[in-house]
Amino acid sequence: IVSLDLAYGAVKQAQVLRLQKRIKNFQKLVRSVSATRKGGRFIFELNSKLLIFELEILDRDMESIWTIKLFLGLLAAWSLLYIAAEAGERQCYGLPAERQSPIDIETSATKCLWKLGRMYIPKYTCKDVHLVNDGGHTAQLELDKCDYTIQGGPLVGQYSVLQAHFHWGEESTRGSEHTLDGQRYPMEISYTDNRAWNDIIMGLGEITNPDEETILDNINLQKLLPRNRFKYYSYFGSLTTPPFSQIVKWTVFEETIKISEMQIAQFRTLL
């Protein structure tokens, strides 16, 4: 099963005034917004009375720091649905449970929107991709130097692709986070290897220990995703790791990627 979790995108100038009006209602909650720059990224931290919210966004997608501050404020407003004050106590109420990810996608309950169209993925090959063993929990592709952007489908504007990580299980009956009509996918099994994944599979042997990394020089993002990008499921949900912030727009492709049992076994050596 293939999914894209897109939490943050570029904010256009025309949206800024609308964001300003919405954020005024939350000014009393926010103590400060700080920003530090690391390489080509800004790291933003929102210090509110209820949480500390940290956000990492590519510099080139934003027109200025204050635009990002407004965008960050809107995200905080989304995460903090409302505050109730009774007898001097403050309570934070989260969003409804149906906004928490992952979910089981019931195809009979979905609504088809043909106007959304196809998602567009760049075709070119990137020669500076870091494959990282993320703490012994997953393998992660660092794509921030590839200048990949995706657009179309349910997305408004362009999104920069910073990284990709993989979910798999100890056996083929489990692995994916989302399920489709109750079925969980390991990555669909095929009797032949998927050549587009060969460089990644070979790289796994070089990151067998936590936090090790290697550089891949022949990664094409388009070949790692399904050919049919017209059919997908999209919904607003959350991160699936702490702090589980409900700020993610999920896109789950209907078509699965076929790789062999032998290739899946290479991923399992990292667990």
Q: Is residue 4 part of a domain?
A: no
* 164 and 185 co-located in one domain: yes
- On whether the CB atoms of residues 180 and 186 are closer than 8 A, the answer is no
Global pTM reads 0.59
pLDDT at 115: 78
Contact 98, 106 (CB under 8 A): no
pLDDT of residue 187: 57
Considering the domain architecture, whether residues 244 and 261 belong to the same structural domain is answered as: yes
The residues, any chain, with a CB within 8 Å of residue 16's CB and separated by 6 or more, are 67, 70
Domain count, the chain: 2
- 10-residue averages of pLDDT along the chain (271 residues): 47 49 49 48 42 38 41 41 28 49 88 84 88 88 87 84 84 83 70 74 93 92 87 87 82 86 88 69
The per-residue pLDDT for 257 is: 84
130 labelled catalytic: no
By residue range, what is the domain housing residue 17?
Answer: 10-94
Q: Does residue 3 belong to any structural domain of this protein?
A: no
Q: Are residues 57 and 183 in the same domain?
A: no
From 54, 74, 94, the end of a domain falls on 94
137, 165, 167, 178: the catalytic one is: 137
pLDDT value of residue 210: 92
Question: What's the CATH number where 60 sits?
Answer: 3.30.160
Residue 264 lies in a domain: yes
pLDDT at site 84: 24
* Residues 85 and 143 grouped into a single domain: no
Shared-domain flag, residues 155 and 263: yes
Q: Is 139 part of a structural domain of the chain?
A: yes
Kindly write down the DSSP assignment for every residue of the chain, as one continuous string: -EEEEE------HHHHHHHHHHHHTTTTTEEEEEEEEETTEEEEEEEESS-EEEEEEEGGG-S-HHHHHHHHHHHHHHH--EEEEETTEEEEE---GGGSSS-EE-GGG----GGG--EE---SEES-EEEEEETTTEEEEE-TTTT-EEEETT-SS-EE--EEE----SSTT---SSEETTEE-SSEEESS--GGGHHHHHHHTT--STT-EEEES-EEGGGGS-S--S-EEEEEE--SSTT--S-EEEEEESSPPEEEHHHHHHHHTT-
